[in-house]
Structure 1
Amino acid sequence: MTPRDRLLGSAVVLLWGLNFVALHIGLEQFPPLFFAGLRFAVLALPVVLLVRRPRVPLRWLVLYGSGFGILQFAFLFTAMRAGMPTGLSSLVLQSSALFTVLLGALLLGERLRPVQLAGLAVAVTGMVVIGWDRAQHASLLPVLLTLAGGLGWAFGNLGSRLAAAPGPDGERPDPLALTLWMTVVPPIPMFVLSAFVEGPAAGPRALRHAFTPAGCSALIALAFTAILATLVGSSLWTTLMGRYPATTVAPLSLLVPVVGIAASWALLGERPSVFALTGGVIVIAGAFAVTSPAVSAGSDRGVVGSGGTRRIADLDPVA
C-alpha cells in the first residue's frame, strides 16, 4: 500500500472502532430494535432515490440485508442494551469471520485448509476464555447474544457473496452499490419488530426526546454510525478493495476491536479484565489464521471463496 492508502485504511479502522462508542451512546436513549431500524432508514431513503439498484437476484439481496442488517444488529444492540461491554462487543463480533468460513464449508461446499481449521480452534478457545470470564463477573447472556449477531452477519456474508457473483453478462455488481442497497432491507422489518417487542410508542417517544437539548447526543451518535461509519467508512474500504487484493486489505479489520476496546476504555471508562484481553488476543490470532491467504489462490476453490466472502464481510464490521 502507498502511504496515502495506509492512511485511508487507518481512518476506516478508526471510524469503525469509534462507532461502537457511538452505538453505546445511541442505545442509552433509543430502544435497540428501533435504533437498528433508524440507523438503516437514514441511508435507505436517499439510496432508493439516488442509487441505481444493482442487477442481482432479489433473494440474495434480501439474504444479505436480513443477515447483516436485521439479525446482526437485532442481537448486537440487544446484547449491548443488556450489559455487553462496548469494547468487548467489538471483539466478540469478529466471530462473524469464523461463522462465515464454517457456513461457506457447510452450505457452499468450500474447502477448509489446515491453517483455517487450526485458526478456528484457536479462535473458539479465545471465545471460551471470554465467556468463562464474563460468567465469573456478570451474565453470560450478552456474550451469547453477540455471538448470535456474529452468526447473523455470517449469513449476510453468504448473501453478499452470492449477490456479488458475475451475472449472465459476466459482470459483477458494483460492491458499494450492493452495500448501499442492502440498507433498504432492514428498516421496515426492524420497525415492525420494535413495535411488537418494545411497544409502538417506545421508539417515537425516544425519537422526540432526541430532538431536545438533553437528548441530542443520540442524534449525533446516529449521524456518526450512519454517515461516517457506514457511508464514509464503507466507501473508503471499497476504494481500497478495488486497488489491492482482499488479503492485503482485510486483515486491517482485525484492528477494529483494538480501537473499540481502547476507545471504550478512554471514553466510557470500561476496563477489560486480563482474562478478557487474553481471550481477545487469542480470538484475533485465530481470525487472522482463518482469513489468511493460501500460497496459490487459484488452486483452491475454498481459498477463493473465503477471500471473496471476507471481502464483503469487511465492508462494515460494526455495525
Structure 2
Amino acid sequence: MTPLDRLLDFLARLPIRIRLPQSRGGRVALALVFIYFVWGSTYSGLHFALQSFPPLMLSGLRNLLGGIGLFIFALRRKPEWPTLLEIRNSAIVGTMLVALSSGTIALGMRTVSSGSAAVMVATVPLFATVIAAVAGRPVTKGEWAAVALGMVGIVVLNSGGAAADNSALGTICVLAGALFWAGGAHLATRLKLPSDLFLSTSLQIGLGGLMSTIVAWLLGEHVEHVAVGPVFAFLYLMVFCTMAAY
C-alpha cells in the first residue's frame, strides 16, 4: 500500500458524515438557503473581518484554509487523482475566482458598504452574458431583456442613500471582482477540470487562495491588531461562506 493509499484509508475512517436531502426538491431548497442566506451574508462578514485583516490576506487565507479543509473531505471519497493539466486548469480558474475576484471585492469593500457591494456583485449575469456572446455562444433576446431588467434594478437599488458614500475606486474594484468572477465561471466550463466535484472545487479555491496569500505577503500585508469580532467573522467566512457554500 502506497503512502497515498494509507492517507486515503485513514481519511475514509474519520467519523465524519454529511447527510444531504435525497429528493431533488430538498437539494434545491438547501442550495437556495446557502445562496440567499450564507453567500448573501458574505459581504457583512467581509465588512467585520476587514477591521483586523488586510483585504488580500483575508481573501487568501480564508480560501486557502477552506480549500485545504474541503480537499481533506474530498480525499475521503477516494476520487480519481487529477492530472497535472487538471491541476493547472484548477489553478487558473481559482486565480480568477479567488485571487482576482474575491481579492478585488475585499479591496473595494474598504470604502464600499456591504449592502452596495452585494448589489454590485449582481452584475455577474451581465458580464457572463457579454463574455458568452464574445465567445460565440448565441444569446437570445429574452436573455438580454432579463439582464437589462436586472441592471435597472441594480441602478435603482444603488441610487442615493448609503451608495452615495461609496468611493469611485472602491466601486470599480467591486465591479472588477464581479467581472473576474464571470470570467472564471466561463473558463470553468471550457477547461478540463478534475471529474470529482469536491476535489475540483477544493483545488480551485485552495490554489486561488494560495496565490492571493502570496501576493498579500509580497505587498507587505499583515494583521495589525486582532479582535474577537473580526476573528469570528473570518472563521464564519472560511467555514460557511467558503467550505460549506461551495
Q: TM-score range by the shorter chain?
A: 0.7 to 0.9
Residue of 77, 88, 103 corresponding to 2:106: 77
Distance 1:5 1:47 in 2: 19
- Checking the alignment, whether the CA contact within 8 Å between 1:20 and 1:86 is kept in structure 2 is yes
Which amino acid is the alignment partner of residue 222 of structure 1? F
- Checking the alignment, whether the CA contact within 8 Å between 1:99 and 1:151 is kept in structure 2 is yes
Q: Where in structure 2 are the equivalents of 1:92-171 lying within 5 Å? A: 92-107=120-135, 109-129=136-156, 133=160, 136-163=164-191
Question: Does the C-alpha gap of structure 1 residues 155 and 59 become closer, same or farther in structure 2, counting only changes over 3 Å?
Answer: farther
Which amino acid is the alignment partner of residue 110 of structure 1? R
2:230 maps to 218
Distance 2:192 2:199 in 1: 11
How much does 1:162 deviate? Answer: 1.9
Question: Does the C-alpha gap of structure 1 residues 96 and 59 become closer, same or farther in structure 2, counting only changes over 3 Å?
Answer: farther
Q: TM-score, normalised by structure 1?
A: 0.59
Distance 2:70 2:117 in 1: 29
Which amino acid is the alignment partner of residue 232 of structure 1? A
Q: How many residues are matched?
A: 216
- Checking the alignment, whether the CA contact within 8 Å between 2:71 and 2:199 is kept in structure 1 is no
Q: 2:243 aligned with 1:231, yes or no? A: yes
Distance 1:224 1:136 in 2: 29
| Identity rate, percent | 21
SS, match of residue 185 in structure 1: helix
1:314 maps to none
How much does 1:123 deviate? Answer: 3.3
Question: Does the C-alpha gap of structure 1 residues 46 and 139 become closer, same or farther in structure 2, counting only changes over 3 Å?
Answer: closer
2:6 maps to none
Residue of 200, 209, 230 corresponding to 1:178: 200
Question: Does the C-alpha gap of structure 1 residues 2 and 190 become closer, same or farther in structure 2, counting only changes over 3 Å?
Answer: closer
Distance 2:163 2:149 in 1: 20
SS, match of residue 173 in structure 1: coil
User: What runs of 5+ residues in structure 1 fail to find an aligned partner?
Assistant: 166-171, 235-319
Residue of 50, 53, 58 corresponding to 1:30: 53
- Checking the alignment, whether the CA contact within 8 Å between 1:47 and 1:180 is kept in structure 2 is yes
Distance 1:79 1:116 in 2: 29
Q: Where in structure 2 are the equivalents of 1:6-45 lying within 5 Å? A: 7-12=29-34, 13-45=36-68
- Checking the alignment, whether the CA contact within 8 Å between 1:64 and 1:156 is kept in structure 2 is yes
User: What runs of 5+ residues in structure 2 fail to find an aligned partner?
Assistant: 1-22
Distance 1:121 1:8 in 2: 29
Question: Does the C-alpha gap of structure 1 residues 38 and 137 become closer, same or farther in structure 2, counting only changes over 3 Å?
Answer: closer
Which amino acid is the alignment partner of residue 129 of structure 2? V
How much does 1:132 deviate? Answer: 5.6
Which amino acid is the alignment partner of residue 149 of structure 1? G
Residue of 88, 100, 107 corresponding to 2:116: 88
- Checking the alignment, whether the CA contact within 8 Å between 1:131 and 1:143 is kept in structure 2 is no
Which amino acid is the alignment partner of residue 73 of structure 1? S
- Checking the alignment, whether the CA contact within 8 Å between 1:37 and 1:186 is kept in structure 2 is yes
